[in-house]
């Protein structure tokens, strides 16, 4: 039985999948990507028309198969009608799986380190090679364009229409620059690698205005990696911006009103700090190189949550 959760696997048992999904939730909480809110899902390895995610419970407290619910990709409805109540925003996951057949795992987060880039107009960049998957442009999706039907304007992805609108942001019609799909060209065909490149996402991460971010991937380990290093990239960019502004200072530009006593009119403050981000080629090649090493941090992260008494994973391991 493969230890992986989709890419480079021969087969994945449902017990392995459950154990990996619970572990992933714990890892994301441990690293501050999820708190009491947020979620990760995984497409069923035996039925591409369904996916699994936790019921309405804090990610750190998920522990058994009974905490997991199977949903249909078509409309995010429960496969078992007596299933536990689930997350409102499961439509994020269902609509992404529907649009991108090769995507097998999705993470939605409200990480506080990423939130400033969701509200400030400052673009999130791949400023470190570990986050090459971000590319040279990370879209910001504004839910207000999809408000309709009398539902609350609460920024929550409450239905298929809002979920479909978000999924489009991963492959906008006018997308340019770094293409996430380029890096995945070597995926095995049995999990949807290169059969329909037009259905591969162009972006691995989409920010959500005033809300958080969502990332998609071809397996659980990859999705967890991207979620954690989206946070790390945001932290690095924020720290570099503050450091640069403190070191280089700022310049006030404007016109001097001589007759008015030398006051500056129409002034603007210009920061001298210039944050250098990865080029399109650097982002592509960095992420391409890192694909082979994702198992390294995954093993460490699994051990971190395994020895932490907060987390309990009581899902049985699959038989080889």
Q: Shortest CA distance to 108 belongs to which of 88, 96, 94, 92?
A: 92
Q: Shortest CA distance to 302 belongs to which of 187, 230, 213, 224?
A: 224
Q: What is the DSSP letter of 95?
A: H
Alpha carbons within 13 angstroms on the beta-carbon side of residue 46 total 8
DSSP string, 111-165: -TTTTHHHHSSPPP---SGGGGGGTT---EE-GGGG--TT---SS---SHHHHHH
The CA distance from 278 to 301, in Å, is: 26
The CA distance from 183 to 53, in Å, is: 27
Collapsing DSSP states into helix, strand and coil, what is residue 255?
A: strand
Alpha carbons within 13 angstroms on the beta-carbon side of residue 212 total 20
Active-site pick, 15, 74, 80, 89: 89
The CA distance from 39 to 22, in Å, is: 11
Q: Is 15 a catalytic residue?
A: no
**Residue 50, φ and ψ in degrees, nearest 5:** -135, 160
Active-site positions read 89
């Amino acid at each position: 039985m493969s230890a992986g959760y989709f890419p480079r696997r021969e087969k994945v048992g449902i017990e392995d999948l459950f154990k990996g999904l619970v572990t992933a939730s714990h890892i994301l909480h441990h690293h501050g990507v999820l708190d009491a809110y947020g979620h990760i899902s995984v497409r069923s390895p035996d039925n591409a028309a369904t996916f699994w995610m936790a019921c309405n419970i804090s990610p750190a407290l998920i522990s058994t198969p009974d905490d997991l619910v199977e949903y249909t990709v078509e409309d995010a409805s429960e496969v078992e009608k007596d299933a536990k109540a689930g997350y409102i925003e499961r439509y994020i996951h269902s609509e992404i799986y529907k649009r991108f057949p090769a995507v097998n795992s999705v993470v939605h987060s409200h990480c506080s380190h990423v939130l400033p880039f969701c509200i400030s107009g400052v673009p999130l960049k791949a400023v470190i090679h570990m986050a090459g998957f971000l590319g040279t442009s990370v879209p910001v999706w504004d839910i207000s364009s999809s408000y309709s039907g009398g539902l609350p304007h609460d920024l929550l992805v409450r239905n298929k229409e809002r979920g479909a609108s978000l999924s489009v942001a991963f492959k906008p019609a006018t997308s340019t620059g770094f293409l996430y799909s380029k890096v995945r060209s070597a995926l095995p065909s049995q999990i949807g690698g290169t059969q329909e490149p037009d259905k591969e996402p162009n972006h691995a991460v989409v920010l959500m205005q005033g809300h958080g971010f969502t990332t998609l991937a071809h397996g659980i380990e990859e999705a967890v990696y991207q979620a954690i290093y989206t946070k790390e990239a945001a932290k690095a960019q924020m720290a570099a911006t503050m450091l640069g502004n403190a070191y280089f200072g700022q310049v006030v530009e404007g016109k001097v009103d001589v007759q008015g006593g030398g006051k500056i009119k129409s002034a603007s403050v210009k920061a001298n700090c210039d944050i250098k981000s990865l080029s399109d080629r650097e982002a592509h090649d960095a992420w391409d190189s890192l694909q082979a090493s994702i198992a390294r941090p995954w093993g460490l992260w699994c051990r971190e949550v395994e020895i932490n008494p907060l987390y309990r994973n009581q899902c049985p391991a699959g038989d080889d």
